[in-house]
Structure 1
């Protein structure tokens, strides 16, 4: 159905913040999304995001390149089919990747995972943020790098040597790229 390639680099947290974070710009993009203020994994937050990352001295950036097979690409001959197929592939990959990141948090207790994109935990259920109730799954929810103001395009280009690809004419792109991370104080060898 698809091929997965993971690219993992690490960088000093202070350098990542200094060179790749611009909250004003990227939270501005978040404000244009329907998840803004409607999902507990998305801004605005009632906590200091910088404090939540500066307590770690190292960040492992994980780029997951998803290359759809030619069979899948040939079936996606219209925008609606392509959009649904792309969403299904990303959801499938995220379900495995998110579990692996949570497992790394267990293995390295002084760490914090960041998922690639918005929350997928509730699935088809509406997020409880819509009704001003606490998150149903606080032990599973994680934020994304972009929701903390990080530049994902610059991260992929400069740190992972991956060019982000987008859909042309409503068809599947050549590949999808998910960017997740693990902030930690330990030097570790991540194998996904």
Structure 2
């Protein structure tokens, strides 16, 4: 069985000053420290650079929200098993918490996030190549390698595509969801949420046409296939 789910994309362009209303580095860092990737992934804190200076060249932020209705998955969830939803995010979770039992709904959530994260990262890097003077901030941590070489004290082997999420740079993404899209982040333990959401950004020096960005983000879909 193949399920192809539409990914809805919404944009909101902010001045950098407005974005920085959601900058809460110490509070966000506290959440990061609870994650198994903290200090073990080149895309995650702590960094050897100043996160504010990293964004200093830019004046505007285009916030990108992706949204996937989960109702089609809920209607067919009995057809799937954990093995249908293996992902790098899932594998990292298991490595960090080997004694945890992962239910099917959590595995689906990890799979969806990983899949959209990878597509969005590639899209943002392509936009960087097409348009000068901007940088993309994809969702989540980098999972290009099964184990980040930072854990071995070795340099990143993909530095040209290494990017940082809004969270990693110190922004409270729940505040951004609320401010930009009037959307409250909600956790439904043991259940799938109403929608899968992720948040990315493009930092630019000048205002940018939202239609151009939407065109370049076209074609993002979530494919779910039941393994035979």
TM-score scaled by length of structure 1: 0.90
Contact 1:3-1:68 within 8 A present in 2 as well? no
Alignment pair present for 1:16 and 2:19: yes
Which residue of structure 2 aligns with residue 31 of structure 1?
A: 33
For residues 182 and 119 of structure 2, the distance between their equivalents in structure 1, rounded to whole angstroms, comes to 23
Deviation, 1:82, is: 1.1
Which residue of structure 2 aligns with residue 185 of structure 1?
A: 205
**Local SS of the residue matching 1:32:** coil
Aligned length: 187
Q: What does 1:154-169 correspond to in 2, within 5 Å?
A: 154-168=175-189
Q: What does 1:75-86 correspond to in 2, within 5 Å?
A: 75-76=76-77, 80-86=103-109
Which residue of structure 1 aligns with residue 135 of structure 2?
A: 112
Larger radius of gyration: 2
Which residue of structure 2 aligns with residue 138 of structure 1?
A: 159
Alignment pair present for 1:4 and 2:7: yes
For residues 196 and 63 of structure 2, the distance between their equivalents in structure 1, rounded to whole angstroms, comes to 16
For residues 148 and 30 of structure 2, the distance between their equivalents in structure 1, rounded to whole angstroms, comes to 21
For residues 100 and 69 of structure 1, the distance between their equivalents in structure 2, rounded to whole angstroms, comes to 26
**Local SS of the residue matching 1:15:** helix
Contact 1:62-1:180 within 8 A present in 2 as well? yes
Which residue of structure 1 aligns with residue 50 of structure 2?
A: 48
For residues 81 and 42 of structure 1, the distance between their equivalents in structure 2, rounded to whole angstroms, comes to 27
Contact 2:177-2:183 within 8 A present in 1 as well? yes
**4+ aligned runs moved over 3 Å, structure 1:** 74-79
Deviation, 1:75, is: 4.3
**Local SS of the residue matching 1:180:** strand
C-alpha RMSD of the superposition: 1.7
Structure 2: runs of 5+ lacking an equivalent? 82-101, 218-228
For residues 11 and 45 of structure 2, the distance between their equivalents in structure 1, rounded to whole angstroms, comes to 26
Structure 1: runs of 5+ lacking an equivalent? none
Alignment pair present for 1:100 and 2:100: no
For residues 113 and 19 of structure 2, the distance between their equivalents in structure 1, rounded to whole angstroms, comes to 26
